[in-house]
Structure formats: C-alpha cells, structure tokens
Amino acid sequence: MIQLLRSAHDRGVTFYDTAEAYGPFANEELVGEALQPIRDQVVIATKFGFDIDLETGKRGSGTNSRPDHIKAVTEACLKRLRTDRIDLLYQHRVDPNVPIEDVAGAVRDLIAEGKVKHFGLSEAGIGTIRKAHAVQPVTALQSEYSLFWRGPEDDVLAVLEELGIGFVPFSPLGAGFLTGQIDEKTKFDPSDFRNHVPRFSPEARKANMALVHAVQAAAKRKGTTPAQIALAWLLAQKPWIVPIPGTTKLSRLEENLGAVDVFLTEEDLKQIEDATSKLSLEGTRLPEAMLKMTGI
C-alpha cells in the first residue's frame, strides 16, 4: 500500500483521504509513512467523530464529537500521519449529542493553532452545513454520490454551490457496482461491508443491473471503461466536485486516473441521463442503523 500511494503521487495524485476509523488507526499510519517524504507536495484529509479509544483503538457503539475529544483525536492523528498539520479535517458523522456549533468551534480553535488548515463535514444535511458554516467556514462536504446514488442532487448540491463549499463524493463507483465486475452471483469476502448493505443483496444486484448496462453502453460508445464513465460523469457535474475512488491495485489506479481524459459532451451526458434517470433502483444504500447517522 505504501508503494501504491507513492505510485499514485508519481502519476499526479495530490489529494489523499483517510480517517482514524479506518483500522482503526492502521490506514492513517500507512498514509503517514507513505507520504512523509513528499508531505509538502500533497493534501491530506482525515476524520474524527466516532467513539474510538485513543489508546486501544477499540470502537464504542456510536459517535463522539465532544470538543475535548476532537482535540485529543487531532493530536493522535498528527502523530500517525507524521505531520505538523492536517490539511482538511472532517467530522466523520454528525453527532446528535453535540451541537454542530460546538464542533465547528473546536475545529476553529485547531485552525487558529495551525494544527488544521480546513474544516469539512461528512454525510451532513443542509441544516447542519449552514449552522457549521456560520461558525467556521466549511471547505468541503464528503458524502456518497454517483450514478448509483444521486441523493445529494435533491438539495445538498445547491447549498454547497451557494456557500462556496467543495464536494468530495465517496463511493463514486457505487462500491464497485458501476464497474460491471459485480452481478447477483458475486460472492463477497465475509468481512466485506457490502454483505450488510441492502442494495448489494443478490436480489437487488440482479434488479439493478439495468444501470450497469446503461453505463457499459456509454463506455462502449466512448471507447473507454465503465469505471471511467462513472468518474467522468461525476467530474462533468460541477467543477468543484472531486471524487475519491479507492483501490488496492495499480492497474485500477491507472484506469481511474484515465477518467480525467474522458470528455463527455452534452449529447453524451443527455444519453446517460435518459438511460439512467428513470430507473428505480432497489435497496437502500446503507444498513438502517447507519442511515440514521446521516443527515441526507
């Protein structure tokens, strides 16, 4: 993974997304080691917000965005990332027990200390975004968005444009579904998160293949891959959208990066829209318990 991260930089990638919850801790440690030699040439984003013991990494049952915890998490993140500042610090999930104004105030203090440069939110609704932005300007919102999940189009994108906030879609390839490499017969590893996602049940996958076929048809017309179409579609929506596809393979990294060279004309976008917008996809994008933790 260290080699892959450095290979990404060699190919022009400058924005890296991690979180204390990934592991917990292991991902930040790898990112820190990989990027330390090129720290001043990259932007690192990480996240706080879950109830994780800072010594053991043991996860509690919910969220924790108390200001004192945010500051302690930030100190731990700085050490794991081998850096003196975090370029973009997100609240990973909105904490129903802590006013967002207090969260924004804590990050504002960290920015004043020079430990953080920018404040971000993840999976937050428009009310939360506005309240946070009034205390400390929000630089970016990270939420799920792709041809597989277009919920942010309902109201979030308009508010982001109004306030001048960038958008960082995670799962831009629909957790792999839009690549065409997954169907109802695909077996996931027992540890794979998709085993618990209603939209990835075998029945839902079978029903939702019409979307994959539409993306494949667009890829065939453009002489490119379905993954590149999915990413190019996102890039074509707004100039301030920065999708973050994840991968563990160099070949997939190179395929994903090829999306920046795929130009979708107005006619291309119309064909994709006509083929996908009327589809009724089956299954929720997250398990019920996790949906309750989002503001979208």
Residue 144 token pair: 């799920």
- pTM of the full predicted structure? 0.96
Q: How far apart are CA 238 and CA 94, in angstroms?
A: 25
Closest alpha carbon to 276 in 208, 221, 220: 208
CB 180 within 8 A of CB 212: yes
Provide the CB-side half-sphere exposure for 99 (13 A, CA): 6
Quick one: pLDDT at residue 249? Answer: 97
Buried b (16+ CB within 10 A) or exposed e, 150-170: eebeeebbebbeeeebbbbbb
Closest alpha carbon to 242 in 174, 143, 169: 169
Closest alpha carbon to 81 in 138, 139, 24, 19: 19
Per-residue pLDDT of the chain (296 residues; tens, 9 = 90+): 999 999 999 999 999 999 999 999 999 999 999 999 999 999 999 999 999 999 999 999 899 999 999 999 999 999 999 999 999 999 999 999 999 999 999 999 999 999 999 999 999 999 999 999 999 999 999 999 999 999 999 999 999 999 999 999 999 999 999 999 999 999 999 999 999 999 999 999 999 999 999 999 999 999 999 999 999 999 999 999 999 999 999 999 999 999 999 999 999 999 999 999 989 999 999 988 888 888 77
Domain ranges of the chain: 1-144
User: CATH number for the 1-144 domain, one of 3.40.30.10, 3.20.20.100, 1.10.260.40, 3.30.420.40?
Assistant: 3.20.20.100
Residue 90, amino acid = Y
Question: Would you name the residues annotated as active-site residues?
Answer: 22
Q: How far apart are CA 67 and CA 251, in angstroms?
A: 41
Quick one: pLDDT at residue 61? Answer: 86
Quick one: pLDDT at residue 230? Answer: 98
Quick one: pLDDT at residue 69? Answer: 98
Residue 175 token pair: 């957790």
